[in-house]
Amino acid sequence: MANTEFNVNGIDVRYKKIYKDDYISLTDLARYVNPDEPKIPIQTWMRDEDVVSYLGLWEQLNNPNFKGREFTTFENKSGANSFYLSPEKWVSETNAIGIIVKRGNGGGTYAHRDIAFEFASWLSPEFKLYLVTEFQRLKSQEQKVLEWSAKRELAKVNYRIHTDAIKENIVPTLTEEQLKYVYADEADLLNVALFGKTAA
- The three-point CA angle 93-60-49 to 5° equals 65
Alpha-carbon span 51 to 9, nearest angstrom: 24
C-alpha to C-alpha distances, 6 to 58, 72, 123, 142, nearest whole angstrom? 25, 36, 18, 12
Question: 51 or 155: whose pLDDT is higher?
Answer: 51
Coil, helix or strand at residue 84 = coil
- Tens-place pLDDT, residues 122-160: 999 999 999 999 999 988 887 765 655 555 666 566 656
pLDDT tens readout for residues 28-39: 999 999 999 999
pTM of structure = 0.70
Q: Would you call 86 helix, strand, or coil by DSSP? A: coil
Mean pLDDT of the chain: 84
Task: Name the H helices within the chain.
Answer: 26-30, 39-46, 49-62, 68-77, 87-94, 113-123, 125-169, 176-195
Chain center to CA of 143: 11
CA distance 80 to 141: 44
Q: Quick one: residue 136, left, alpha or beta (phi over 0 = left, psi -120 to 50 = alpha)?
A: alpha
Instruction: Provide the pLDDT confidence category of residue 105 given band limits of 50, 70 and 90.
Output: confident
The residue among 106, 111, 104 whose CA lies nearest residue 29 is 111
The string of pLDDT tens digits covering residues 157-192 is 665 665 666 666 655 666 666 666 665 666 666 666
- Residue 1's pLDDT band (boundaries 50, 70, 90)? very low
| pLDDT tens string 81-96 | 899 999 999 999 999 9
